[in-house]
Structure 1
Amino acid sequence: MQEAAVDAEVLLRAIEVRKSELHQLPLLKAEPLLAILDEDLPTTTEKNGRNAAECWVDLTDYLRRLVLLFSPDPIETDSRGHADLTVVLDRLAGFSTQTGVKEWTALSVQILSAYELA
């Protein structure tokens, strides 16, 4: 009985490892495609990233572009082409209901918390 329990535990661990590998595979396949899209998609803002404020602007622009890949509704920008981070994060969090992946909301909350702390 104890030997069967050990075998079952080994099998369960193997299944968990395989599930983890299967979860990572689409991410690895998507990464080069997203890099190509990043090159091809026009952006209205130059990436400076010299100080914290500019890095937040750059992050907002990247997230805005990510949202626009999956949602055709435009995101309003100011006269310099910058979007409001909270608007972008709300749209990003909306992917949770569209895709059933709760991590979109968690990511949005985490970024907003870091932004408010900064």
Structure 2
Amino acid sequence: DRSGAYIVRQAAKSIVAAGLARRCLVQVSYAIGVPEPLSIFVDSYGTGSIPDKEILEIIKEHFDFRPGMITINLDLKRGGNGRFQKTAAYGHFGRDDPDFTWETVKPLKWEKAQA
């Protein structure tokens, strides 16, 4: 589903922007009729400043992966279908457009481990 792709894009961009990793892959899987995701997977390709397991916990704390909440948090119903017509040319990702709310980096707060 497109909304799942949007929220994992925002999560991965936010992890990189927070300096937790130089690269980040976030995957989510769902079952029909179940609002909570079956699984969430994170891979920083070895570029993480903390272990992937901790990055996953930070993502779970800051992002709600339930489809209804994705729609609300990314304001996907705003503007009707007009905003999505823009995605027909040049795609959904990597564009600086205020309608593409999933491209906005979300500030992350977390407890840094004591050295």
Normalised by the shorter chain, which TM-score bucket? Answer: under 0.3
Rg larger in 1 or in 2? 1
Q: TM-score by structure 2 length?
A: 0.27
> Of Structure 1 and Structure 2, which has the larger fraction of its residues in strand?
2
Q: TM-score by structure 1 length?
A: 0.27
> Of Structure 1 and Structure 2, which has the larger fraction of its residues in helix?
1
